[in-house]
């Protein structure tokens, strides 16, 4: 069951979130209708969830048997419960029916942190609109009719790439993304040209062509351009506007600083060996020929050029460790995996790994 966004407005600390943030929370939250006696959580549990009570009553019993109650009609119900871990009490429904909203606390905290960081930027007094509710165009070096408002920045959280940006980098991201207005049929990037920018579609639609063949369509919140920036190779495809549109651009240096450094996390050889013993999967993103000549033990081969097409076949519950021989292709692959929502890490020193973890035969 989806959560009505208007219900969230009364909850603390959600009272000051903007409409985009509330809509995202409504999509991410889970509405629960539980009968009398149903356990919400047990004492000692340590999952990632927090709860808000919308209707009914909850009883909470600690290890000494002391009982406390949370009633939806009371002021305390505006606050989350179940956030202290390990939980000190059992929680059960103590009314004929209880209606709760359950959130992943990590998602909740990320949205709140982003909103607060963007709010600090507005509150600094720089480039505020007359209403004080959105950044004016000069903050993002935009024209007066193209406001770079907080709703747009919050909408970026729908992209896995930006969802993993640390909150402390959010203001930098807002300052560094530059607008690019384009007309229908204009070329954004051309295959085999060098790559200097990372792009996010804000308005309009784009066509992706490889060797003259259409291979994809991009729309709002779709991003492109990362492979050339990460690998240093020329653009692998041409992107052309289908409609008039607005793209947001991030330079190579800002892309590396704001997105890549926090998103592509490196592991030492010791950490890789430990995770491999726990079931992590090693992915070699070199060509099949390179893989057959020399590879790491218990690794699989998914060449970088087919990785996008193979993403849907990977297990989202697994941890992935990515390597090549130099770190260039594996950096690109690790970024793509994280961008798609997988738990992926970069092997920091593949040459050392080849000396001690090479497969035989």
User: 265-356 adopts what CATH topology?
Assistant: Oxidized Rhodanese; domain 1 (3.40.250)
Q: For a pLDDT cut of 90, what percent of the chain falls above it?
A: 60
* Domain 124-258 identical in fold to domain 265-356: no
Tell me what pLDDT residue 31 has.
93
Residue 183, burial from CB neighbour count under 10 angstroms (0-12, 13-18, 19+) = exposed
Tell me what pLDDT residue 2 has.
65
Note the pLDDT tens digit of each residue in 172-210. 888 899 999 999 999 999 999 999 999 999 999 999 999
Give dist(CA 212, CA 3) in Å, integer: 45
Tell me what pLDDT residue 279 has.
94
Give dist(CA 124, CA 186) in Å, integer: 37
**What is the homologous superfamily of the domain 124-258 according to CATH?**
Jelly Rolls (2.60.120.10)
Q: CATH number of the domain at 5-105, please?
A: 2.60.120.10
pTM: 0.66
Tell me what pLDDT residue 146 has.
44
Low-confidence ranges of the chain (pLDDT < 70): 1-2, 119-149, 361
Note the pLDDT tens digit of each residue in 38-50. 999 999 999 999 9
Residue 7, burial from CB neighbour count under 10 angstroms (0-12, 13-18, 19+) = middle
Domain borders along the chain are 5-105, 124-258, 265-356
């Amino acid at each position: 069951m989806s959560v009505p966004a208007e219900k969230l407005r009364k909850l603390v600390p959600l009272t000051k979130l903007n409409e985009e943030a509330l809509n995202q929370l409504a999509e991410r939250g889970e509405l629960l209708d539980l009968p009398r006696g149903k356990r919400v959580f047990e004492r000692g549990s340590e999952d990632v969830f927090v709860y808000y009570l919308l209707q009914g009553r909850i009883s909470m019993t600690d290890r000494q048997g002391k009982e406390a109650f949370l009633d939806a009609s009371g002021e305390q119900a505006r606050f989350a419960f179940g956030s202290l871990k390990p939980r000190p009490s059992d929680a059960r429904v103590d009314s004929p029916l209880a209606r709760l909203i359950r959130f992943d606390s990590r998602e909740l905290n990320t949205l709140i942190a982003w909103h607060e960081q963007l709010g600090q930027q507005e509150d600094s007094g720089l480039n505020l609109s007359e209403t004080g509710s959105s950044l004016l165009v000069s903050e993002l070096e935009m024209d007066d009719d193209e406001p770079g408002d907080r709703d747009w920045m919050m909408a970026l959280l729908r992209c896995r790439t930006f969802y993993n940006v640390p909150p402390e980098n959010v203001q930098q991201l807002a300052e560094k993304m530059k607008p690019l207005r384009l007309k229908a049929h204009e070329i954004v990037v051309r295959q085999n040209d060098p790559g200097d920018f990372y792009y996010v579609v804000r308005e309009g639609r784009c066509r992706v062509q490889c060797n003259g063949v259409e291979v994809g369509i991009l729309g709002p919140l779709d991003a492109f351009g990362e492979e050339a920036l990460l690998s240093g190779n020329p653009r692998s495809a041409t992107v052309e506007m289908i409609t008039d549109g607005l793209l947001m651009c991030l330079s190579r240096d800002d892309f590396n600083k704001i997105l890549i450094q926090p998103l592509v996390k490196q592991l030492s050889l010791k950490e890789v060996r430990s995770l491999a013993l726990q079931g992590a999967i090693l992915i070699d993103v070199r060509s099949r020929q390179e893989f057959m000549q020399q590879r790491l033990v218990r690794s699989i081969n998914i060449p970088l050029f087919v990785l996008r097409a193979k993403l849907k076949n990977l297990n989202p519950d697994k941890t992935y460790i990515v390597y090549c021989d130099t770190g260039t292709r594996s950096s690109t692959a690790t970024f793509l995996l994280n961008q798609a929502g997988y738990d992926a890490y970069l092997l920091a020193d593949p040459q050392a790994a080849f000396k001690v973890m090479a497969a035989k035969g």
